Amino acid sequence: MPAPDVINLMSDTVTVPTPSMRHAMATCEVGDDVFRSDPTVNKLQEMTAEIVGAEASLWLPTGTMANQVAIAVHTHPGQDVIAGSWSHIVNYELGGVAWNSLCQLNMVSDEGGWITADRIKDAIRHQSDHTPGTGLVCLENTHNRRGGRVMPLEDLEKCADLAHNDGIPVHLDGARIWNASRASGVKVSEYCSKVESMMFCLSKGLASPAGSMLCGKKDFIESAHRMRKRFGGGLRQAGVLAACGILSLTEMVERLDEDHRNAKALARAINESGTLMIDESTVETNICIFDLPEKYGIDAFKFADIAEKNGLLVTYMGSRLIRLVTHKDFDGAWIPDVVERIRKSLVR
C-alpha cells in the first residue's frame, strides 16, 4: 500500500477498531453494568483476571481513571505518593493525585526509563508528628515518556519488596504492559504478581476504541468499583466497548511484535538519514523518542507543526524531544516516506 497523505505516528491511541471489533460491537449481548448485569463486561473482567493471574478486574473507560481510582483507593488524604518524575501519573493526569485523593507527590528520578529501588528507599517517609507517611508507590511499564522502555522484572520486584517491607502498597501503571511482555518475554501475570494493583489500556496498541482494566485482589476491586461510580465512570451498556476489549486480548496482543519491529526499523532509517538522532538500543517497544539537534534552529513544538504540513503527525515530549509511535495502522513499508517527510521538515 502506498503511504497515505497523512502518516499518523502521534500515538498508538490513533488505531481504529478492527472489522471484527465492529462486528462484535453490533452483535454482543449487553445489560446494565452499573447493576453488574452486562454479560460482555463481566466476561471481559473474568477473562482479564484469569489471564493476568489476579483475583478480580474492573473495566474503566480510561487509563487515567483507572490510575486515579487506584490511587484514591490505596491512599488517605495527606499521604505521600511516590512516582517517577517522568511518569504519566505526574505529567499527564492534570494533578489528579492532589485533586482527587488529596495526596502529595513525592517524585523520584525515572530518567533511565524506570525507578530503581535505591530511589524508593530514599523517598519512603514514615508517618510521624512531622512527616506525612508514604501511602503508595507508583511504577510505570513500559515507560511512555522515556521511549517505551521496559522495566526489568527484577527491578520491579526490588522496588515492590522495598515498599512491602514498610507495608506500602504498589500500583503499576501498565498502560502498555502487553508491549513490555512481548518485548521481554515476561508474562503479564508475573509483573502483576508483584504489585497490589495494575492497570493496562485496551485503547492503545490493542486497538479498542476505549477502555482500561484495573486488576487486583477482590477487596481492592470492590472498593475500586465504588470509587469508579464516584468518579462518574459507571457506564450502562458498556458491553459494546468490552466486546472490543475481549478481541484486544485474544487477537491483538501477538501482533504488537510487528509494531516493535517497525519502531526499530524506523529508528535505524531515521538515524541513517542523519536528520534526527536516537540511541537505537533504547528502542525496545513501539515508541521512538528522538533528539532534535539544535543546529536546525527550531524546537520540537515547531517541528511538529512543520511536519504536520508535510503529512507527518508526531508529538513533542519536551523542547528537543520528538515522539513517534508505531501501531497497527502504520505499515512498515511507509518508513522511507516518514524519513523523507522528516527531511523536508528540517530543510530551511
Ligand X SMILES: *Cc1c(COP(=O)(O)O)cnc(C)c1O
For ligand X, the closer CB: 13 or 193: 13
Cα(170)–Cα(135) distance, rounded to whole angstroms? Answer: 9
Q: Give residues 121-160 in contact with ligand X (rule: CB under 6 A).
A: 140, 144
Tell me the window of 58-66, 73-81, 249-257, 327-335 that interacts with ligand X (CB under 6 A). Answer: 58-66
Q: How far is the CB of 15 from ligand X (least distance, A)?
A: 13
Q: Which residue has the cell 452499573?
A: 34
Structural contact between residues 208 and 17, judged by C-beta atoms closer than 8 angstroms: yes
Binding residue for ligand X, selected from 28, 72, 195, 201, defined by CB under 6 A: 201
Cα(175)–Cα(250) distance, rounded to whole angstroms? Answer: 17
Instruction: Provide the mask over 10-49, with x wherever binding to ligand X is found by CB under 6 A and - wherever it is not.
Output: ----------------------------------------
Q: How far is the CB of 275 from ligand X (least distance, A)?
A: 26
Cα(123)–Cα(127) distance, rounded to whole angstroms? Answer: 13
Tell me the window of 63-71, 77-85, 178-186, 275-283 that interacts with ligand X (CB under 6 A). Answer: 63-71
Decide if residue 88 touches ligand X (CB under 6 A). Answer: yes
**CB 24: neighbour CB atoms within 10 A?**
20
Using CB atoms, what's the residue nearest to ligand X? 63
Decide if residue 284 touches ligand X (CB under 6 A). Answer: no
Burial of 26 (0-12, 13-18, 19+ CB in 10 A): exposed
Give the single-character DSSP code of 318: E
Decide if residue 62 touches ligand X (CB under 6 A). Answer: yes
Residues 6+ apart with CB under 8 A from 77: 101, 102, 103
Q: How far is the CB of 126 from ligand X (least distance, A)?
A: 28
For ligand X, the closer CB: 212 or 262: 212
Q: Which residue has the cell 512498515?
A: 332
For ligand X, the closer CB: 212 or 285: 212
Binding residue for ligand X, selected from 75, 181, 208, 212, defined by CB under 6 A: 212
Tell me the window of 59-67, 164-172, 230-238, 319-327 that interacts with ligand X (CB under 6 A). Answer: 59-67
Cα(241)–Cα(202) distance, rounded to whole angstroms? Answer: 10
How many residues form the binding site for ligand X (CB under 6 A)?
A: 12
Give one DSSP letter per residue of 169-217, joined into a string. -EEEE-TTHHHHHHHH---HHHHHHTSSEEEEESSSTT--SS-EEEEE-
Binding residue for ligand X, selected from 21, 108, 175, 198, defined by CB under 6 A: 175
List the grid coordinates of 172.
503499576
Cα(47)–Cα(45) distance, rounded to whole angstroms? Answer: 5
Q: How far is the CB of 2 from ligand X (least distance, A)?
A: 30
Cα(177)–Cα(140) distance, rounded to whole angstroms? Answer: 9
- Binding residues (CB under 6 A) for ligand X: these are 62-64, 67, 88, 140, 144, 173, 175, 201, 203, 212
